[in-house]
């Protein structure tokens, strides 16, 4: 299931696809470290989640697509 990471910087908005949640979190953190803002991850549920919320769902073992069920 694809995950999309979106962030904005001075050049505009970038949207990147990752194949798993761990890869999406890693990329989102990299974007933040590089100075991007409004970084969010859209999971299989189709809803955008701020990175902290997404990580909290993963730590609580709540699948990001649980809202879609």
* The pLDDT of residue 66: 47
pTM of the model: 0.82
Average pLDDT, the chain: 89
Which residue, among 44, 42, 52, 41, has the nearest Cα to 68 in the 3D structure? 44
DSSP the chain: --EEEEEEETTEEEEEEESSHHHHHHHHHHHHHTT-EEEEEE-TTS-EEEHHHHHHHHHTT--TTGGG-
- Domain positions in the chain are 3-68
In angstroms, the Cα distances linking 4 to 10, 47, 55 are: 20, 10, 14
Confidence of residue 61 (pLDDT cuts 50, 70, 90): confident
Alpha-carbon gap, residue 19 to 13, rounded angstroms: 20
């Amino acid at each position: 299931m694809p995950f999309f990471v979106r962030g904005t910087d001075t050049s505009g908005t970038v949207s990147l696809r990752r194949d798993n949640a761990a890869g999406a979190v890693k990329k989102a953190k990299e974007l933040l470290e590089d100075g991007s803002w409004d970084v969010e991850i859209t999971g299989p549920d189709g809803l955008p989640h701020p990175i902290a919320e997404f990580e909290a769902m993963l730590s609580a073992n709540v699948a990001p697509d649980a809202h879609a069920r």
